[in-house]
């Protein structure tokens, strides 16, 4: 049996990757495609909308995503389903989260500096520049 040293992991500097075989390791945070089959738990301290790529839509085709606001406050927007639709918005105060459906385009805007946590399977993640008001 291999023994892994037990020591603290800075969750704001590393992500946790959870593998299908039950293994967990600290690794570099990735915004797009990560280890095939590994779920990523990542925490972020964000100060501005630029820190959460508010000018981009993001989509995870392989899995749902849990977006959690640990401190501060954020608004999570969902892209309209049709060309004449409006963005749907979910307000996340500190201590709340939302599950983003698989394949649903979304983006964040801050209400205040915040600590966020994201849990998803990053494989296949796509970013798309937001144009105009869509």
Residue ranges of domains in the chain:
15-129
Rounded Cα gap, residues 7 and 3, in angstroms: 12
10 has a pLDDT exceeding 80: yes
Per-residue pLDDT for 57 more than 80?
Answer: yes
pTM reported for the whole predicted model:
0.87
Alpha-carbon torsion angle 42, 98, 49, 117, nearest 10: -20
* Segment 67-84, tens digit of pLDDT: 999 999 999 999 987 788
Homologous superfamily of domain range 15-129 = Jelly Rolls (2.60.120.10)
Phi, psi angles (nearest 5°) of residue 52: -115, 20
User: Could you report the per-residue pLDDT of 83-104, keeping only the tens digit for each?
Assistant: 888 899 999 999 999 999 999 9
Residue 3 has a pLDDT of 58
Contact 16, 29 (CB under 8 A): no
Which pLDDT value is given to residue 32? 66
Give the Cβ contact number of residue 67 at 10 Å: 21
């Amino acid at each position: 049996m291999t023994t892994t040293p037990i020591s603290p992991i800075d969750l704001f500097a590393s992500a946790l990757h959870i593998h299908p075989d039950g293994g967990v390791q600290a690794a570099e945070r990735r915004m797009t495609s990560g280890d095939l089959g590994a779920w990523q738990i990542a925490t972020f301290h964000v100060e501005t909308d630029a820190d959460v790529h508010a000018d981009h839509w993001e989509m995870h085709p392989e899995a749902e995503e849990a977006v959690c606001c640990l401190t501060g406050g954020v608004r999570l927007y969902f892209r309209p389903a049709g060309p004449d639709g409006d963005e749907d918005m979910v307000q996340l105060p500190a201590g709340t989260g939302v599950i983003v459906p698989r394949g649903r385009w979304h983006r964040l805007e801050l209400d205040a500096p915040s600590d966020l946590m994201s849990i998803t399977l990053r494989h296949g993640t796509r970013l798309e520049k937001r144009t105009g008001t869509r």
